[in-house]
Structure 1
């Protein structure tokens, strides 16, 4: 499956030299494609491929060997091995010659961490090396679809913008061990001879339960009430989708006899009285939730009137419990002589539905939440589509949506900072 990539922001130490460079994906690719060896360096670093890790249990761990070669014609005085991991993974027992950087979520990237290990020893031309002790990586309880990206470089790639914590390793320092020259490694790249990187996909044996609760509304004919429809990832795993595709869609159909006077800014009308709502970004963390705020006017009594909140048809192989993927919106009209019953979250009336309610969580369990008119997100962040502001009657059906496979996370462009820092020095 396609994996998205982290696009690393420049280090604070070189940000001033990059103000004229593009900081988006195109800019990063452009920087990465420039040969980093303007001074005639004849390095030729190449990493061995890493095999995927499938079915590892949360609470378990795996090792990363980190084999690489210097295919150039010049000995190197020093190299750096860095390991960038998605938020479901964590380097363990770091040696004292390694530093871990914790990076908060930004733009379309969730929080992640990078461990950079410095090897201050000669790396001979034509030789193959690996750390004498492989890096151990823990699989955290919320891991699901993860990625580790490894980079070998002649310069330190740590300390990017967004770093919230820096921790020095406390274990015994690790050295490089020379391996037989016949040890298989990948090919070096003439466009960036002084760095190379490979990715390791990791799939944890975990699940994530997406769910929506029952919503109850109550009022009299003529009242304007607030509908607060909620979507939650009950975990235990967190989920990130492919770039350009939402991790989930929430489809809301209003009860008959009502008119939407203020739609949620995170939702788009797809039919009369029906809305398709997205998340604030392309991921949702474990225990993360999103609430969509609407204001409805009760126009008339319609016996048995009932709306619904349900998840879209996107593929979610990690979600084994489908029974809580939909729930009714129950409308009790005072004086109508009947009750729709049910229980769950309460919409209430006269509250702040339809307003702009953003928020931000931490970079650990709650994540970040982007500000979007008419919705509150916890454990998700970014932009969302905005529905219209005209009154809308609750009488239509939600249009079907084409399924989009829920995707998995990749950590990418980790070595671009190396190129940037190299360019800044020149």
Structure 2
């Protein structure tokens, strides 16, 4: 059964004073509170892991030390892994929860293990058996986070119902001195040798001069790996140039005008994830051999060795009207007054974004939505975001 939430204890000195002499003793409570010894738990023994392959597994061990002046009557250790990893065997004194992506955090699995043991100051402990982690087919650049608590962190409100493990319970045993850490939370990268194939799909358009036509082009992460861009890293974008002789009536969602084309983002970098960009075009004139293009941006992607599908043509077959021009170069697709789309997105000057704007499968774009709609969401969600981040720290 899931471990129920455990409220923070009232300070023992304060509780005893109130119970013994009633409300009159409140005047002495601040002094008693300030003098009370308190635990200060830290986690250690957690290191990055690299060179893994899909199907591998590794043992996750950690140490817990008490650097405070008082004993911790009970300890909780929280382990969180991103979606390329999973827990193989979970002890019965632990509960697991799948948490969907929200705010700046990706989808992850969390295991919270409760140890009903006193942790004295100056002593190092470690679980008697490490937690086993398995590497999934979609793993590439993942992340592990370990926290330690002296109160139950509770379940994440954005996650599934916690489920208790079925493997034998484990307890803390005394560890080796000198292996204690210095922080309550430790985050390390977990790297797997794998690839992900980013690809784009073009379109074949047909119509007469004066017609309005729909253009649909697509981005796909064909996998097998999912991608978790890290803070500060340049993220892929899609560059779309409509065919010459056309004007854009409505741009695609998550796209913004740039020069003679558009820069577009995507909501998800998960394996199998797709984004379709739908544009409404008007055929203004017939241009000989008119052809546009959809292409990935050119930042380095060492995980994606297949460059053959990074570009695709957008062809246009115009019936009626006399052909003009001879090369079919890109149209002037900067949008202008004819571009009526309200679904534009924003990015940096180079058209790229960073991980803080990627909310996989939440409906948010890697290129943050701009304009009045986004402003309204930001104003309305400010307080909620703060609450969520405070809640998220239960797994930080």
TM over 0.5, yes or no?
A: yes
Deviation, 1:13, is 9.8
1:234 aligns with 2:211: no
1:263 aligns with 2:251: yes
User: Does 1 or 2 have the higher relative contact order (CA < 8 Å, sep 6+)?
Assistant: 1
SS in 1 for 2:166: coil
Q: TM-score, normalised by structure 1?
A: 0.69
Unaligned runs of 5+ in 2: 8-32, 324-339, 344-359, 372-388
**Residue 67 of structure 1, aligned match among 56, 63, 70:** 63
- Report the counterpart of residue 351 of structure 2 in structure 1: none
Q: Which moved more, 1:47-56 or 1:76-85?
A: 47-56
DSSP 3-state at the match of 1:321: coil
Match of 1:321 in 2: 306
Q: Give the deviation of 1:243 after TM superposition.
A: 4.0
1:186 aligns with 2:181: yes
Q: Which of 163, 182, 188 pairs up with 1:200?
A: 188
In 2 relative to 1, CA 251–263 (structure 1 residues): closer, same or farther, beyond 3 Å?
same
Q: Does 1:417 align with 2:381?
A: no
Larger Rg: 2
| Residues 247 and 279, structure 1, Cα contact 8 Å, conserved in 2 | no
**Partners of 2:78 and 2:110 within 8 A in 1:** yes
Q: Deviations over 1:335-361 (max 9, x none)?
A: 5799xxxxxxxxxxxxxx9697xxxxx
Question: How far apart, CA to CA, are the structure 1 residues paired with 2:362 and 2:54?
Answer: 25
TM-score by length of structure 2 reads: 0.74
CA distance in 2, matches of 1:158, 1:132: 23
- Relative to structure 1, the CA distance from residue 304 to residue 39 in structure 2 (aligned partners, 3 Å threshold; closer, same or farther) is farther
Q: In the alignment, which of 106, 109, 115 is matched to residue 105 of structure 2?
A: 109
Q: 1:13 to 1:218 in 2, by over 3 A?
A: farther
Q: Distance in 1 between matches of 2:39 and 2:6?
A: 24
1:259-408 alignment to 2 at 5 Å? 259-272=247-260, 274-280=261-267, 283-335=268-320, 368-370=361-363, 383-385=368-370
Matched, 1:47 2:40: no
State the match for 1:3 in structure 2: none
1:92 is aligned to 2:114: no
Cα offset, 1:115, TM superposition: 0.5
Separation in 2 of the partners of 1:223 and 1:415?
A: 51
Map of 1:220 onto structure 2: 208
Work out whether 1:163 is the aligned partner of 2:159: yes
Consecutive unaligned residues of structure 1, counting only runs of 5 or more, are: 1-10, 15-36, 189-195, 339-352, 357-366, 372-379, 387-411, 420-426
Q: Is the 8 A contact 1:62 1:136 kept in 2?
A: yes
Q: Is the 8 A contact 2:148 2:185 kept in 1?
A: yes
Length, aligned pairs only: 322
SS at match of 1:123: coil
Deviations 1:220-278 (A, max 9, x none): 11110001111111011111223466631110111111111111242111113x11111
User: In the superposition, relative to structure 1, how do residues 306 and 418 fare at CA in structure 2: closer, same or farther (>3 Å)?
Assistant: closer
CA distance in 1, matches of 2:35, 2:84: 40
1:310/1:270 CA distance change after superposition, 3 Å: same
C-alpha deviation, 1:114, in angstroms: 1.0
SS at 2:394 equivalent = helix
Deviation at 1:219, TM superposition (A): 0.9
Distance 1:13 1:121 in 2: 15
Kept after mapping to 2: 8 A contact 1:101/1:158:
no
Q: Deviations over 1:35-69 (max 9, x none)?
A: xx978443122222422111211111111111121
* Residues 13/232 of structure 1: CA separation in 2 closer, same or farther (3 Å cut): farther
Q: Distance in 2 between matches of 1:39 and 1:253?
A: 69
1:413 Cα deviation (Å)? 8.5
Per-residue deviation, residues 293-343 of structure 1 (Å, max 9, x unmatched): 1111111111111100001122212111111111110111235799xxxxx
Q: Distance between the aligned counterparts of 2:6 and 2:69, measured in 1?
A: 31
